[in-house]
Amino acid sequence: MKSNLIIKFETILRRNRQRLTAPKRQIFDYLLTTNQPVSAVSIAKNNPNINSSTIYRILNRFVTLKIIKIVPQGFKIRYELGDGFNQHHHHLTCENCGRAVAFDSPELEHLIKKISLNLNMKPTKHHIELYGLCSACQSQ
């Protein structure tokens, strides 16, 4: 049986007259399983059967279709499944050991909306990345 998410994925592609090809499925699956922000390069490394220009093309398309979203972390751009495939959330990353926790905060979402509206902007999206020291790293 196919999972909801896969059906949703296929529907989005069909609605946009895009073909359901093996590389697209494979990249989508890969993102489903890693469930972590990953770079284009690391997607390429872990899916060596797909040509890397194809990977970039697919990633860009997926971003447009909101199947995935960009997560800027430090110096690097990474990708993860879009909010339709994954609860909307942000990351809190330990600066020392690099471990990340995902979190969501309705309070935060609400405040952001308020701030945007106060500045006369209709909010569309946001990137929030928090950094800190986890308890283990603090006590070193």
Specify the stretch interacting with a second copy by CB under 8 A; choose among 9-17, 23-31, 46-54, 97-105. Answer: 97-105
Size of the site for DNA (CB under 7 A): 24
Nearer to DNA, 31 or 50 (CB): 50
Q: Is 1 in the site for a second copy (CB under 8 A)?
A: no
Pairing of strands 68-73, 76-81: antiparallel
Burial status of residue 43 (CB atoms within 10 A of its CB: 0-12, 13-18, 19 or more): buried
**54 touches which of DNA, a second copy, none (CB within 5 to 8 A by kind)?**
DNA
Q: Is 10 helix (H, G, I), strand (E, B) or coil?
A: helix
* Residue 66, phi-psi category: left (phi > 0), alpha (psi -120 to 50), beta (remainder): left
Q: Which residues bind DNA (CB under 7 A)?
A: 13-14, 17-24, 39-41, 49-54, 56-58, 60, 77
